[in-house]
Amino acid sequence: MKTNRRKFLQTTAATTAAFSIIPHARSDSPGRKLNIGVIGTQGRARGNIAGVKGENIVAVCDVDRNNLAKAKEQFPGAKGYEDFRKMLEQKDIEAVVVSTPDHTHAVCTVYSLQSGRHVYCEKPLTHTLSEARIVTDVAQRSGLKTQMGNQIHSHPQANYRRVVELIQSGAIGKVSDVHVWSGARYGAMDLKPNPGNPPDSLNYDLWLGPQKYRPWRPEYAPFKWRNFWAFGGGTLADFWCHFADLPFWALGLKYPISVEAEGANAHPIFTTLDMKVTYQFPADESGNAVKLTWYQGKYRPRNVLTADQLKRFGSGVLFVGEKGQLLANYTKRELFPEADFKDFTPSDPFIKDSTDHHGNWLNAIKNGGWSETDFSYAGPLTETGLLGNVANRCGMKIYWDPTSLKAINAPEADEFIQHDYREGWKI
């Protein structure tokens, strides 16, 4: 059913009002190992499993029996499941790692939180904006420890931390513009004329999860689902939470007031290959308003960066301040004009370094405290990124009201904002 504004509020209220924490999640002994269940075992899941393998992996879940068998070989003491809902009935699980296609992030995460488990969910947090808002709300009310998998935030090299310190200490003055870009291109492709049947090892019905039924295509799995609106959000959804994390963190951004997309008209099936999106954020207490421009595919900030800078940094973030500019990516940073900063000395580090992203989440569970990109941060970050796809699919500039989760000037945008689940699935 389609979720309208009234239904969205009713669903959220019902979900959270009826919420009861099952006492699976414990943190009474900081030195002990946690019992972890894993949903999804291949692709990004391999990195996420590696990040928590020092704990007790007591359950593994995958909709593909071949993948599940491999996971069982790696963790012979773990119980195996095809259906994550069955896995959550296993009473000794205390925390869950979600590494599935985007369209199942929300159901896996909400069901896990509702069953009293701490959750680590791969980025983006959800497939739609309405899902992101519900996941954020449920997580907040649960009191459980959460983390989204934008692991560059906590990279041991700490480049993002040093960039945030430079911005927040005023190295380039007030920042008015930010340019963020990724060269990846997910979208249109040639489809096989005779798709055939799903592999015998794949439970396709469970792979679809909450998404409406459609005939199998071999292009869907295991990786290219990102190219389809039904399952992913293309380049923007895949890389936004890595790169836009930096300006969100440094500048304290949250929700924009308007979003406009430039590029080819959105395809009804495939995600957009090449796109430029402009996000305007409201002024802060000092009156400073930030404009953030996102570029993907063939689009680049060529009007503000040299060809050499674009080549050396590949993908990245440019902060434009009143006293200079700061260019950064995952591992390096540069202040320029070079002549203005030749004698510059940065302030002493004031953001504590992190060992790693998974470890930060595990430590929060065991010892209390905060996780770096918990869902209160990851939710708005994900929502804002997904708004770029909404603007692209609507074909117009949209003015955003985050309170009502509405594009004020474009009621037709609801189709791309609200989740639409098939019978038997809900959050």
Distances in Å between the Cα of 41 and the Cα atoms of 7, 62, 65, 101, 116 are 34, 6, 11, 11, 22
Give the residue-averaged pLDDT of 166-190: 95
Q: Tell me the pLDDT tens digit for each residue of 121-168.
A: 999 999 999 999 999 999 999 999 999 999 999 988 899 999 999 999
**What local confidence, expressed as pLDDT, does residue 28 receive?**
54
In a domain, 91, yes or no: yes
- Fill in the DSSP letter of residue 28: S
pLDDT at 220 over 70: yes
Q: What is the pLDDT of residue 15?
A: 43
Q: For residues 75 and 92, what is the distance between their CA atoms, to the nearest angstrom?
A: 16
Instruction: Answer yes or no: is pLDDT of 8 > 80.
Output: no
Q: Please check whether residue 78 lies inside any domain of the structure.
A: yes
Q: Which residues pair with 407 in a beta bridge?
A: 400
The pLDDT of residue 355 is: 81
Give a yes or no: residue 233 inside a domain: no
Supply angle C-alpha 379, 227, 210, rounded to 5.
60
Q: What region, left, alpha or beta, does residue 321 occupy, with left being phi > 0 and alpha being psi -120 to 50 degrees?
A: beta
Q: In which domain, by residue range, is 43 found?
A: 5-154+356-374+409-417
User: Residue 333 phi/psi, 5° resolution?
Assistant: -150, 150
- 52 domain-assigned: yes
The gap between the terminal CA atoms of the chain, to the nearest Å, is: 12
Q: Identify the band that residue 188 occupies on the pLDDT scale cut at 50, 70 and 90.
A: confident
Question: What is the total count of domains within the chain?
Answer: 1
Does residue 203 form part of some domain?
no
| Pair 233, 247: CB distance under 8 Å | no
CATH code at 150? Answer: 3.40.50.720
The residue-averaged pLDDT of 189-205 equals 92
Question: How many angstroms separate the CA atoms of 348 and 2, rounded?
Answer: 52
pLDDT digits (tens, 9 = 90+) for 299-310: 999 999 999 999
3-state SS assignment for residue 170? coil
Is residue 274 situated within a structural domain? no
Contact 154, 142 (CB under 8 A): no
Q: Which residues, at least 6 apart from 337, have a Cβ–Cβ distance to it below 8 Å? A: 324, 325
Q: Is the pLDDT of residue 365 over 50?
A: yes
Check: pTM over 0.85? Answer yes or no: yes
Please indicate, yes or no, if residue 147 is contained in any of the structural domains. Answer: yes
DSSP H or E run through 375: helix 375-394
